[in-house]
Amino acid sequence: MVGIIGLSLYEGSESRLGNTAWKSLDATIISTVFTESFKSLSRRMRPRYTDNPDFWLEKGHSFPSQHVASMTAMVTPFILEYQDDYPLIHLLWALPVHQMIGRVKAQAHWQTDVLAGFLIGAISGKIAYDIDTPLLLNLTSDGIVIGWKHKF
């Protein structure tokens, strides 16, 4: 996350790389809002506290995986932007997959938690990628725009 913020601030939003970095940051924030909302509603117990995956509406925060959603949301705009120019960019999918495996092995999440996190992250990344300008901050030669920018 620190790297994405640094790249966004360094590049601004007028370069292809900078614009993609801002979209990646937007996607991460979108995915965080969704996952935290779902966690509050589902309250699923983590596997380290129970061996029963059907403990919902308890005191848990397992469903969906916010770590996986964030990692997926971060890489998705870069993959979508550069896949035609650099086909090896698809290797970035290894980052959320690694996160998924690690979270399950550490008994922090059930398999369905990480799959849901991956789906939320991918959808958030696609939404942020499809928006013409970054949602949060737009650095231009004319100044700084914070929030949504609309032209009429």
**88-122 per-position pLDDT tens digit:** 999 999 999 999 999 999 998 889 999 999 999 99
- Ranking 15-24, 71-80, 122-131 by mean pLDDT, the lowest is 15-24
| 145 pLDDT more than 80 | no
**N-terminal to C-terminal alpha carbon distance within the chain:** 33
Greatest extent of the chain over all pairs of C-alpha atoms, in Å: 57
Please give the backbone phi and psi of residue 137, each rounded to the nearest 5 degrees, phi first. -150, 135
Determine the Cα angle at 72 with ends 56 and 91, to 5°: 135
Ordered by start, the domain boundaries in the chain are 2-43+62-146
Opening angle at CA 119, ends 48 and 58, nearest 5: 35
Q: Which residue has the tokens 């969906």?
A: 64
pTM: 0.81
